[in-house]
A and B are shown apart, each in its own frame.
Chain A
Amino acid sequence: MNEPSKIVKTIASIIFPFITVYGLYIIVHGHLTPGGGFQGGAITASGIVLLLVAFGSAEIAKKIKESHLSILESIGALSFISLALLGLSATFFYNFLAGSNFIFGRIPPFGSNPGDMNTGGVLPLMNISVGLKVIAGLSAMVLALALFARLKRGRKGVRKK
């Protein structure tokens, strides 16, 4: 397989921050606009896939270790469940931050308005933790599938015509 040209690599490096920022935007605005943790995480992970395609899996695997991604994924999932467990003063998943004037604690104004970031209670926090999990999970998935191709074939791994 040919190495991708310099143009591809340069453009990928330029575009990558924009994709990341857009993905993060989708994640943190999940409680106001269409989007959320999974969608934003998928966009951000697609940036990593772009790098993977442009630079090749071996190059990326040096920078991003699968074990680190796994830890990141666990942290995302753990913070999500912790947020749900923190609501146990009332019920599991109870939105204890809504209307508390703490972070994200404002009551959204009634009627048509441009949207206030500082609302939603635990929802934005959960979006962020899901986003973290999806970024790590999808990147690890694509990275693993890309690295699979480089593995040595098994005993009977003879290609048939």
Chain B
Amino acid sequence: MNMSYVLLHAPALLIAIPLFAAFLTPIIDRFSKRVRNIFVLAVLIIEEILMIIFAWDVFTNGIHVYTMGAPNPTSTVPLQSAVPVRIVLEVDGMSAFMGLISTTVSLAAGFYSIAFVRKETGQGKFYTLLLLMLVGMLGMEFTGDMFNLFVFFEILSIASAALVAYRSYYGDAVEGAFKYLIISSIAGSIVLFAIAILYGQYGVLNIAALAKAMKSTTLDMIALVLLISAFAMKCGSVPMHFWIPDSYTVAPASITAMLVVASQASLYALFRICFSLYGNTSYVATSGAILILFGLLSMFIGVTMAIPQKDIKRLMSYHAISQTGYMLLGVGAGLYLLGNPDFSTHGMAAMEGGIFHIFNHALYKGLLFLTAGAIFYKTKTRNLNEIRGLAHSMKFTTIFFLIGAFSIAGLPPFNGFASKLLIYESVYHVNPILSIIAMLVSILTLASFMKVFHSAFMGPPMKDVERGDVPKSMLFGMMVLTAGIILFSIIPGWVVGHIVHPAAQSLANQSAYIRAVMGD
């Protein structure tokens, strides 16, 4: 097949292939479980490869637009009309960056699930929903349209909620899923309300067209507030974080890794709205300050709540909140400085740090959740008081856990350190206190992971646990993410220069985003 043809249609194909595969899975499932597993993995691998090729093209050649149903993918604005009327997918550096994260973690979670859910019932539905989650994430990240943002947001929420309740023979799994779904549907309704406010004023739904027409009215401000609070809740920012530990804890481990990325898709939507939709209004500095505030609260309260936890996944969920705070802090500082002369010196570095941290977080937090799942798989408990000495039998898991723990704590030479260093040095110029709190949180993170390491892996071996590590497919899933961490640790300069910088640049450059759809 012609490569340029594939690249031209890549935005639609990336969403269509998992969607098609999702509904083919239950049919294949009736004939052979083995073929179904191979099919799902093949789809995830194809997605990953296609996404890497496509993302590379976006990073080098700039924004891709894709108009669904038009005679030509690039004809975003029809001849008879002044605004885009069709569904437009718009993939810039940031979208491609997020797409890479989603496909990578999905691949790891797919491999991990093969062994992890082998004994459960309804696996056909499990993989259908897993692929639908990927569809929802990629859709949220690629869409250039407010309404499709809402649609994919809801697809993602419904698929995730159903997967959180997958082991519905545990009462708390259903409880966590219920809370997740209530929160998601409220957030979804509020987002739709905000979209309706915007549509009522400007009569368009396309983000670029809306941004061009934006007039900073009071209604725009109300819509911005609703969008910020809804997406901040969905990405788990304090003080709206309560659902995160509840639902992350009870989900199957591979799904928890996916949920981390799902929350980051909401984070992406938050950034997209603040930068690309409202980047030209007078609310930029205020919303930047609010993101910084959210970031600080999330960082500090997340990590301090993590320290006393006794449930391993609950502890890690609080760390997920705390690390989300770093991203909010970094990108919020960039947003706060947007338009200032300082932006090119510190603001850009802060954004690069925050955005780099998104990828790092997806890798190491995904890995840590997978190791927590491996511990649960072996010992059938998540309570840290009841486990000890697992390093005697689970050698690979121990190594993976240590790499993840060092990376999340920001110890050199791991990738977590590189992104945190960028954040420390740049937010220092906004206010030195921000850097100090960020470093303190990093220390507390290390402290709480040493607690996990000591109580789970050190000490005399447990008596009633069979020897040997977890099955190979689970180890392979963890290895995918570990390889990512090691790669990013060795070449942080190249990654920031060639992947993160284009993403940060495209987020900050609102006029290019508008021009790609609206023309000049």
Contacts and interface: CB of A to CB of B under 8 A. Distances in A.
A121 to B, nearest CB: 10
B287 to A, nearest CB: 34
B222 interface: no
15 contacts: A70-B26, A75-B27, A81-B20, A88-B12, A90-B70, A91-B9, A91-B68, A91-B69, A91-B70, A91-B72, A92-B12, A92-B13, A92-B69, A93-B69, A156-B171
Contact of B73 (A81, A84, A85, A91): A91
Contact of B23 (A81, A93, A94): A81
Question: Chain A, interface size: which category?
Answer: 20 to 34
Given A85-B16, A88-B9, A94 B70 contact: yes
A88 B66 CA distance: 12
A20 interface: no
B24 A92 contact: no
A88 B72 CA distance: 10
B264 to A, nearest CB: 25
B511 to A, nearest CB: 26
A35 B68 CA distance: 23
B17 to A, nearest CB: 9
A93 B67 CA distance: 9
A71 interface: yes
Interface of B: 9, 12-13, 16, 19-20, 23-24, 26-27, 30, 66-73, 87, 171
Contacts of B20: 78, 81-82, 85
A81 B26 contact: no
Interface in A87-112: 87-88, 90-95
Given A81-B16, A90-B73, 16 more contacts: A74-B23, A74-B26, A75-B27, A77-B23, A81-B20, A90-B70, A90-B71, A90-B72, A91-B9, A91-B67, A91-B72, A92-B9, A92-B66, A92-B69, A95-B69, A156-B171
A154 interface: yes
B11 to A, nearest CB: 9
B382 to A, nearest CB: 19
B68 A93 contact: yes
Nearest to A84: B16
Nearest to B24: A78
A82 B19 CA distance: 10
Most buried by B among A67, A73, A94: A94
Q: In the A-B complex, list the 7 residue pairs whose CB atoms are closest, starting with the nearest.
A: A92-B12, A77-B23, A93-B69, A93-B68, A74-B23, A81-B20, A91-B73
